[in-house]
Amino acid sequence: MLICTYLALGTRLIKPNVPECFDDQLLKPPIVWEQHHFSSSVDIERGIVNDTFGSSHPNMEEDWEASLDVGVIRITDEEMSRMPTETAHLYGGEQGYAGILEVFHQLHCLNRLRSRFQNNHTVTQHQIEHPHMEHAHDMHCFSYLWQTVKCHADVSVMSLEYNDEQKAFNARFDVVKQCRNFDVIHEWAKGRESKNKPPG
């Protein structure tokens, strides 16, 4: 699938004679489809949250960090030749080019906003930020996730149930969806991770 929606403004170093849009099959990732059981995990009437967003989850921070432990990955010369925009060389003399899978950027932003909402601090940031940069970073994440959700535009149908007491429809989140297996992608990306990390 070609991703043609541009998620950021600014200078784009477009290369000649290559597709203008990003192709999510560029790196030939191992896509394994599976049925995933979604659940509401929220009892609105009782005010209970019982999943990885809930503060009562015993391993909440560890679970989030385990999903976010993939950093810069290696891009080969051949893969780089088919990318529509330039990307930096790997650090420290390592062969190849540097890239980050979008899913980990998306999870980083979601986790940042989750942490600041729940704890008024950010557990995922790797650099100390000035106060004005903290706000700018938050706004970037809101904007980036907003554009990403619209870019993917999930057209699955959400079921409803009628609540006679409330005289209103309530969404049914307890459904099964066809999803990409994240664990398979995570393991594959981990195997492509760069060995050298810049000091900054």
29, 185 Cβ separation under 8 angstroms: yes
Q: What does the pLDDT look like over 35-49, one tens digit per residue?
A: 998 876 666 666 666
CB-CB contact of 145 with 106 (8 Å) = yes
The residue with tokens 């529509």 is 84
Low-confidence ranges of the chain (pLDDT < 50): 1-3, 5-12, 123-124, 126
pTM of the model: 0.82
- 3-state class (DSSP) for residue 139: helix
Percent of the chain with pLDDT over 90: 53
**pLDDT for the residue numbered 1:** 47
Q: Collapse the DSSP code of 92 into the 3-class scheme (helix H, G, I; strand E, B; otherwise coil) and give the result.
A: helix
